[in-house]
Homo-oligomer: A and B are copies of this chain.
Amino acid sequence: MRVSRQQVEDNKRTILEAAGRLFRERGFESVTVTDVMKSAGLTHGGFYGYFKSKDDLIAQTLAGLRGEAEPKSTDLAAVAQRYLSAEHRDDFAHGCPLAALASEVSRQPQGARTEMTAFLKRQFERLGKIAPGLDEEQRRRAAIGNSASMIGALILARMTDDPAMSNEILEATRGWLLAEDGEGAKAADVA
């Protein structure tokens, strides 16, 4: 049965939101077209009215993630505190797409890789603005290094089945990041 133009628009957004959650939770391959449509309250048959293929859904989902609200911070310590928290670790569905999907994206076709590259570029730029450093180059280095550390630590903390080790990874990386980040931050960390 036909639905209104507004409904069509809403449905597309709902489908993309569901896909964004499911892909982060379970990865691209484990999530079926039927899963996504069911999660959006529709049946699988209608899928191809919205997307050319599952790969197209993946690319559009990743493109949509760029628009997701990012908590703004002016301080690296605050970013690390939030990013490397138990809450973020345990919330795949609404967490960082890079930590959840970067590995899989490297084996995906062009579209997905290009979208995630754009996402990563933005992440570096955002972090570059609040990273410590004397000049632009040092701040960019810090943005990349901090991103890699936080993403890597979150992935490892999610991988291990030892809860104590998982917490240790988050805590140690947090402490290490702030302690090693130049004299100012080091002092702040000790205090």
Contact = CB atoms under 8 A, between A and B. Distances in A.
A184 interface: no
A165 interface: yes
- Closest 5 A-B residue pairs measured CB to CB? A152-B152, A145-B176, A148-B152, A103-B103, A148-B153
Interface stretch (A24-32, A33-41, A45-53, A70-78): A24-32
B148 A156 contact: yes
Interface in A141-183: 141-142, 144-145, 147-153, 155-156, 158-162, 165, 168-169, 172-173, 175-177, 179-182
Interface residues of A, number: 52
Given A172-B145, A176-B144, A179-B141, A116 B152 contact: no
A155 B102 contact: yes
A81 interface: no
Contacts of A156: 98, 102, 120, 147-148, 151
B107 A155 contact: no
Contact of A144 (B100, B106, B147, B169): B169
Interface of A: 26-27, 29-30, 98-107, 110, 113-114, 116-117, 120-121, 140-142, 144-145, 147-153, 155-156, 158-162, 165, 168-169, 172-173, 175-177, 179-182
22 contacts: A29-B29, A30-B107, A98-B156, A98-B159, A100-B103, A102-B156, A113-B161, A114-B161, A120-B165, A121-B165, A142-B176, A142-B180, A144-B169, A144-B173, A145-B149, A145-B153, A147-B152, A147-B156, A151-B155, A151-B156, A152-B152, A180-B181
B103 A141 contact: no
Identical chains bound together, number: 2
